A and B are shown apart, each in its own frame.
Chain A
Amino acid sequence: MSEWRLYEVFVRSKHGLNHKHVGSVHASDNEMAMENARDLYTRRSEGVSIWVVPSDTITASASDEKEVLFDPSEDKIYRHASFYELPDEVGHM
């Protein structure tokens, strides 16, 4: 099975929602990946649509990049609506 490719599986649980990562499968080609994902991750009508993506084509951020990538947004609280106080008289905005 080592020569079978690893695929990541994403399932849309119902219309209107995003595809969400649910796990992975091994398969010899894309078609088999789809069939295996169907059998493995949607045995109880968990989804209406599946994506299978070869794992080695995914570019992921490394855990030691966490600060570089995500810290800059920590001190930008003015990006949140709650930063701006409105007088009660203005009502809901």
Chain B
Amino acid sequence: MYAQLVETGSKRLKTKEEMSPQEREFQEKVDAEIKIEAKNWMPEGYRKTLVRQISQHAHSEVVGMLPEGNWVTRAPTLKRKLQLMAKIQDEAGHGLYLYSAMETLGADRDEEIEKLHQGKAKYSSIFNYPTLNWADMGAVGWLVDGAAIVNQVVLQRTSYGPYSRAMVRICKEESFHQRQGYQILLDLMREGTDEQKAMVQDAINRLWWPSLMMFGPHDDESPNSQQSLAWKIKRKGNDELRQMFIDQTVPQLEFLGCTAPDPDLKWNEETGHYDFGEINWQEFYDVLKGNGPCNRERINTRKKAIDEGRWVREAAVAYAKKQKQRTQAA
């Protein structure tokens, strides 16, 4: 998921009797699948949770451009370079759709970005891993965007209208990302040298577990999941989404002729799902806290971009003011 561990501010669900009449009316609307819009009344906790989740989601799109930006000048052909740039541009666009949705809740874009730069706001743990070889571009598109799609397809039904509409738009664009990633890997496996094939397996070995971590902690260890599900901000639990992702990904992995770095991964005839090993949660929490391989680098790159672009933004404002004065004078 692009948003992990989103704080809801509630330890347990309120019963209908404990709710105020307004809260009850709101919950009934949500239960009846009526979308909540910006001007409708909503509990403060719902609004805050949405701002946290949508901003985290937006930050993930924006920071997500960085591991790929690294490969624009190193892409092996012009075709690959154009595809990669189109994907990165989409991610900038997705960040903007989401920031817009967040602003309908009264949040300020600059303030939320500032929180990211101060380390107060999170973004997906996955983007704190380095992209070391060209096959990583394939594995990121296939696994990371693949995991994001599983989550985002469900979020199209989220209860908040502007968020839901942003998700619809994003999902439409995202499947190209996953396919272009898988194609990079397919080409390497079909036509590549032994060394290139080894590169693919290496990329999968490094990115497999971090991709599974994208869905967040187990539901029973995530007190916020229950509230988010009741508000229908989230529509499915973390574990269910993770299982969906694994079930659809393993056959694609086998088709590539590669393996996952998980000795416990095997088809379970009884459950009709794949069994898989336990995630290293210590690593997940460490990366989320800011101690992953690339956390500092990512935030520094973001800050640098904001600082070095300041004069452009200021010049644009100065130009707009001057033009306005001119038309008023004329």
Contact = CB atoms under 8 A, between A and B. Distances in A.
B320 A23 contact: no
- Is chain B's interface secondary structure helix, strand, loop, or mixed overall? helix
A1 to B, nearest CB: 5
A40 B110 contact: no
18 contacts: A1-B110, A2-B108, A3-B317, A4-B313, A4-B316, A23-B100, A25-B96, A25-B100, A26-B109, A28-B317, A28-B320, A29-B319, A29-B320, A29-B324, A32-B320, A40-B97, A43-B90, A63-B37
A9 B109 CA distance: 18
A28 B316 contact: yes
A86 interface: no
B292 interface: no
A1 B324 CA distance: 18
From A25, A60, A63, residue with most partner B Cβ within 10 Å = A63
Given A2-B110, A23-B100, A63-B40, A40 B317 contact: no
B100 A24 contact: yes
A32 B316 contact: yes
Interface string A1-23: 11110100000000000000001
Interface residues of A, number: 19
Nearest to B96: A40
B142 to A, nearest CB: 21
Interface of A: 1-4, 6, 23-26, 28-29, 32, 39-40, 43-44, 60, 62-63
A1 B114 CA distance: 12
Contact of A44 (B41, B103, B173, B323): B173
A43 B93 contact: yes
Contacts of B96: 25, 40
Contacts of A23: 97, 100, 165-166, 169
A27 to B, nearest CB: 8
Contacts of A28: 313, 316-317, 319-320
A63 B38 CA distance: 9
Contacts of B317: 3-4, 28
Contacts of B37: 63
Contacts of A63: 37, 39-41
Interface string B91-128: 00100110010010000111000000000000000000
B300 interface: no
Contacts of A3: 317
B173 A40 contact: no
